Amino acid sequence: MPSGIFGEGCTSVGDRILQLTYKNEIWLQYDNSMGGFDLIEEEKHKTWPSREGWGLSHDENFIYGSDGSDTIFVFHPDQLEFPVRAISVVDEYANPIWMVNELEVVGNFIYAN
């Protein structure tokens, strides 16, 4: 990782590894086509549209990211600057659940802690 950057959520999508930064408000993208972790220089500073990056996961169609709030942001893999939608995380009484982190997509569900 570049010096001075604290990495958070990370997910592998095709030949890329995407990583959120905790407070730098950027995505980092790595080329994993040869099994390495080479930072893709021209794409390293795509803006993360939130103040903090926490968790990151994906399925066949979308990237899912969290910022510690009660919202999971949904991105198209080729357009990381702007979410295509947001998912509110609530309990069985419709109360917001905050500090959503460590996202994992399994089947049709998104798990978090």
Q: What is the pLDDT of residues 17-42, one digit of tens each?
A: 999 999 999 889 999 888 777 888 76
- pTM here is 0.91
CA 90 vs CA 20, 27, 28: distances in Å: 23, 26, 29
80, part of any domain: yes
Tell me the residue range of the domain where 36 lies. 7-111
User: What pLDDT shows up at residue 42?
Assistant: 66
Does any domain span residue 19?
yes
Neighbouring CB atoms inside 10 A of 93's CB total 5
- Model pLDDT for residues 75-98, shown as the tens digit of each residue: 998 888 889 999 999 999 999 999
End-to-end CA distance of the chain: 25
Cβ(57)–Cβ(44) below 8 Å: no
Q: From the DSSP assignment, how many helices (H) and strands (E) are in the chain?
A: 0, 11
d(CA 67, CA 92): 22
Please check whether residue 95 lies inside any domain of the structure: yes
